[in-house]
Amino acid sequence: MVRASLAVATAFAGLLPAGAARAHIIYATDFEPGAYVAGPIEGQDLWTDTPGNPFRVSPASPIADAYSLRLNAADIALGGGSVLTRETMQIGVEPVPGMMILNLSTLLRIENADAGSNPAITIEYGWTAGLATFRVTPFSITLRSAFTGEVFATTTPAGTLDLLAEIDLLTGVFTGYVNGQAFGTTTLPTDQLQNQEDMSGVRVTGSVSGPASYPQVFVLDSMMLRHIVPAPGAASLAAAGCVAALRRRRFR
pLDDT for position 199? 84
Q: 19-48: b or e for each residue (b if 16 or more CB lie within 10 Å)?
A: eebbbbbbbbbbbbeeebeeeebbebeebe
Residue 245 has a CB neighbour count (10 Å cut-off) of 10
CB 220 within 8 A of CB 55: no
CB 101 within 8 A of CB 211: no
Strands (E), the chain: 22-29, 39-40, 48-49, 55-58, 68-72, 81-86, 101-111, 120-125, 132-136, 140-144, 151-155, 161-168, 173-178, 181-187, 202-207, 217-229
Residue 57 has a CB neighbour count (10 Å cut-off) of 23
Q: Does domain 13-247 have CATH number 2.60.120.200?
A: yes
Q: What confidence tens digit (pLDDT) does each residue in 204-225 have?
A: 999 988 777 899 999 999 999 9
More confident of the two residues 241 and 61: 61
More confident of the two residues 244 and 4: 244
CA atoms within 13 Å, Cβ hemisphere of 224: 27
Q: What confidence tens digit (pLDDT) does each residue in 162-184 have?
A: 999 999 988 999 999 999 999 99
pLDDT for position 249? 41
Full DSSP string of 102-133: EEEEEEEEEETTTSS---EEEEEESTTTT-EE
Residue type, 193: L
Rounded mean pLDDT of 85-107?
83
pLDDT for position 36? 97
Q: CA-to-CA distance for 48 and 25, rounded, in angstroms?
A: 21
**CB within 8 Å of 75: residues ≥ 6 apart:** 52, 54, 82
Q: CA-to-CA distance for 247 and 28, rounded, in angstroms?
A: 11
pLDDT for position 10? 35
- Residue 4 scores a pLDDT above 70: no
pLDDT band, residue 230 (cuts 50/70/90): low
pLDDT for position 78? 67
Instruction: Determine if the pTM surpasses 0.85.
Output: no
Rounded mean pLDDT of 242-246?
38
Percent of the chain whose pLDDT exceeds 90: 58
pLDDT for position 73? 93
